[in-house]
Structure 1
Amino acid sequence: MNTTIETILNHRSVRAFTEEAVPQADVEIIVEAAQAASTSSFLQAYSIIGITDQEKKKNLAVLAGSQSYVVENGYFFVFCADLYRLEQAAEQHNTNILQTTESTEAYMISLIDAALAAQNAAIAAESMGLGICYIGGIRNNLKQVCELLQTPERVLPLFGMAVGYPKQIEEQKPRLPKELIFHENYYKNDKGNIKEELQRYDQLIADYYLNRTNGKKEMTWTKQVSNTLERSKRLYLNEFVKDRGFLN
């Protein structure tokens, strides 16, 4: 096994960082790694906003649900879907691409491009001994986030990424068994087998939480996702995304 694979397989979210800042040279390497990610049709339909202003980090933390590690980290990135830059490029050739930039396909391309770039950034950061945590909470209040970051129409903040030197590292959460994730040639929809695998995984996760919390937390994976998905959230996003010039 090479070091790249070891880095990937050793991933876990870090939510406690030291006060040490990530050196600017390392920030630039992380961004370069993000830019090296695959991108649909070479569109590069994403942007990354680095947050160094401590007040902005504090505001983002509140908007994201008062998560302390949005403020207390070595560096903070926000990854955005970006179709605005493509329109600026097309304007140079008097080309109208509005029908395309408002399409579902363009929206999906921008989301996928941003996610691929972010994962490259995460692996690069972790390979340098840094820890990372994705922050989806910025979608709780996207209107205010857009105002704070001064993003134009057709630029949509998707998630943040806290990066820094880990103060503490939690035990890695066991992932779903490969039998439930990986299919060959067709989707294997054997409900009996799915139920059996989920029951085994539930026991694994229940043991993980009991050990991690010294018996204070009793929770299975199926119960956790059921509780999470039972409560719908961010239902404003459909209209807000359209207001920002996507999906029209």
Structure 2
Amino acid sequence: MNQVMELLKKHSSVRKFKEQDVDENLLQDIIKSSQYASTSHHIQAYTVIHIKDQAKKTKLAYLTGEQSYVEECPVFLVFCADLNRLGKACSMNNETIESSLTELFIMATVDAALFAQNVMIAAESAGLGGVYIGGIRNNPQEVCDLLKIPKLVYPVFGMCLGYPEKVNSTKPRLPLSLVLKEDEYSTQEDNVKLQEYDEVIRQYYRERSNNERSNSWTEGMAAFLKQKQRPHMKKFLEKRGFEMK
């Protein structure tokens, strides 16, 4: 097990940070190194917005579901899937981007996610911690208005970064046999493995210091997935120019 693998296995979400600034040069190094993430056809269809204005951070904390750590973290980043720049590249060569196709939406979203994961890993390697903020999609149009995000761009998620005040223990992941299949998608032992994993998660929550939860993984997923998750996103994306044809 090398150092990179050990770092990956130690990841946990950090929501409480020390009152210590992150050096601007360090942040730029993190972003620059993260640009070497894999990117489909070299399109590099992502943009990240560093929110320095405290008033905007306060507003974003509200828009993301009143998540105080968005306002309090030393660094808040908004990661965007970006076809706008690619549209300009086409225009410069007298072509028109086929932005309405679902495939381009997928490519841009995947590019942004790969880039962001590199940012998180690079930050953790430098002693920082962080957490993804999916709540950036709670009110996506308001976020676009606040940050002046143009058409053919949408905010995928946010990320808080800083020096951890408190680090939680790593939450156990699914058994390898459930996520690694050989030759075909076999489901023969899925139920048994999920039941075993439920007990692992229950024990994890019992041993956490705050002990606020005791549910299993499948119980948590069932409660989450029975709800309609951000049903406004389809219409919002269509207005952004992502028509999903």
Q: Smaller-chain TM-score range?
A: over 0.9
Whether the 8 Å CA contact 1:21–1:73 is kept in 2: the answer is no
Aligned match of 2:107 = 109
Q: Which portions of structure 1, spanning 4 or more consecutive aligned residues, are displaced by more than 4 angstroms?
A: 213-216
Q: Does 1:84 align with 2:80?
A: no
Aligned match of 2:168 = 170
Aligned match of 1:143 = 141
In the TM superposition, what whole-angstrom CA distance separates every residue of 1:21-40 from its partner, at most 9, and x where no partner exists? 11001110111122111101
Aligned match of 1:37 = 37
Q: 1:110 to 1:216 in 2, by over 3 A?
A: closer
Quote the offset at 1:247 in angstroms.
Answer: 2.4
Question: Structure 2: where are the runs of 5+ without partners?
Answer: none
Distance 1:78 1:140 in 2: 13
**TM-score normalised according to structure 2 size:** 0.97
Q: 1:106 to 1:20 in 2, by over 3 A?
A: same
Distance 1:54 1:130 in 2: 20
Q: Quick one: which amino acid aligns to residue 213 of structure 2?
A: K
Aligned match of 2:213 = 217
Q: 1:16 to 1:215 in 2, by over 3 A?
A: closer
Aligned match of 2:156 = 158
Greater mean deviation of Cα atoms: 126-135 or 28-37:
28-37
Distance 1:242 1:30 in 2: 32
Q: Quick one: which amino acid aligns to residue 93 of structure 1?
A: N
Distance 2:5 2:227 in 1: 36
Aligned match of 2:235 = 239
Q: Quick one: which amino acid aligns to residue 84 of structure 1?
A: N
Distance 2:93 2:210 in 1: 64
Aligned match of 2:225 = 229
In the TM superposition, what whole-angstrom CA distance separates every residue of 1:18-63 from its partner, at most 9, and x where no partner exists? 1111100111011112211110111111111111111111111000
**TM-score normalised according to structure 1 size:** 0.96
Aligned match of 1:201 = 197
In the TM superposition, what whole-angstrom CA distance separates every residue of 1:145-193 from its partner, at most 9, and x where no partner exists? 0001100100100100100000001111000000111111111121xx1
Q: Quick one: which amino acid aligns to residue 25 of structure 2?
A: A
Q: Does 1:183 align with 2:181?
A: yes
Q: Secondary structure at the match of 2:72?
A: coil
Q: Secondary structure at the match of 2:139?
A: helix
Distance 1:214 1:24 in 2: 34
Q: Quick one: which amino acid aligns to residue 239 of structure 1?
A: K
Distance 1:233 1:38 in 2: 29
Q: Secondary structure at the match of 2:104?
A: helix
Q: Secondary structure at the match of 1:101?
A: coil
Aligned match of 2:69 = 69
Aligned match of 2:119 = 121
Whether the 8 Å CA contact 1:132–1:164 is kept in 2: the answer is yes
Considering only aligned residues, what root-mean-square deviation do their CA atoms show, in Å?
1.1
In the TM superposition, what whole-angstrom CA distance separates every residue of 1:127-161 from its partner, at most 9, and x where no partner exists? 00000100000100001000011001001001001
